[in-house]
Amino acid sequence: MNFISLIDQKFSIWIQSHLHSQRLSWVLSRINKGEMLALILLPLMFTSDLYKPIYISLPIVLIFTYGTDRLVLSLKKYFSRKRPLVSVMGKKDSNPDMKHSFPSAHSANSAVVATILVFGFGETSWFYGFSIFAGVGRLLTLHHFLSDILGGWVIGFAIGIFGVGTLQILRLYIL
C-alpha cells in the first residue's frame, strides 16, 4: 500500500507542477459533471431504438448508477483518504469532503453507465470516453489520486457488468 501511495503522491506532484492551472480547474469543474452526460444520454435514450422499452432501460441505468454512488460514498467514508488538494497542495481541510478521496465517484458512476450502455444496449464503445474524461479531469484538478480513479473505474465496471446481467434477465423474463 505504501508503494501505491508513493506513486500517487509523485504523480499528483508532477500534475501540480506541469499541468494544473486555476483556469483549467475552473473549466473542468463546470463541464466534468454527471449532469453533462445526462444532457447527452437522456435525449439519446428517448429517441434511439437501442433503449426500447424505455421503462426498462432508464430505470436500470438509474438504479445501478445510484447504487454505485451510494457504495462509493460509503467506501470514501471508510477510507477517509485526504484529497491531493489537501495532501499535495496544502489547502485547508475545512470542508469535510476534502477527507474523502478514494474511490472516485465520478470515475465509478461514469464507468457503470458506459458499461451498461456498451454491453447492455450495444451502444458505441466511445461512451467510455466520457469515463476517461471524468477520471482525467479529476486528476488534473487534483481532486483525486491515480489510484482513486482506477479504483472508481474497477468498481463502476464491475457493477456495470452486474447491471448488464440484470438487464439480460429482465429481457428473458419480462420482454
pLDDT in tens, 67-108: 999 999 999 989 878 887 755 555 655 555 556 788 999 899
Is residue 131 domain-resident? yes
Is residue 13 domain-resident? no
How many angstroms separate the CA atoms of 126 and 80, rounded? Answer: 33
Is residue 5 domain-resident? no
Is residue 164 domain-resident? yes
Is residue 44 domain-resident? yes
Average pLDDT over residues 44-62: 87
Question: Which position has the grid cell 432501460?
Answer: 57
> Which pLDDT belongs to residue 112?
95
Q: How would DSSP label each residue in 56-113?
A: HHHHHHHHHHHHHHHHHHHHHHHH-PPPHHHHTT-----SGGGG--SS-HHHHHHHHH
Measuring CA to CA, how many Å separate 69 from each of 34, 62, 135? Answer: 11, 10, 15
Give 5 or 64, the one with higher predicted confidence.
64
Is residue 40 domain-resident? yes
What's the pTM value of the predicted model, to 2 decimals?
0.84
3-state DSSP assignment of residue 155: helix
Q: Domain range for residue 133? A: 21-173
Cα–Cα nearest to 141, from 96, 111, 107:
107
Is residue 3 domain-resident? no
The total of structural domains in the chain comes to 1
> Which pLDDT belongs to residue 88?
56
Average pLDDT over residues 108-119: 94
Is residue 65 domain-resident? yes
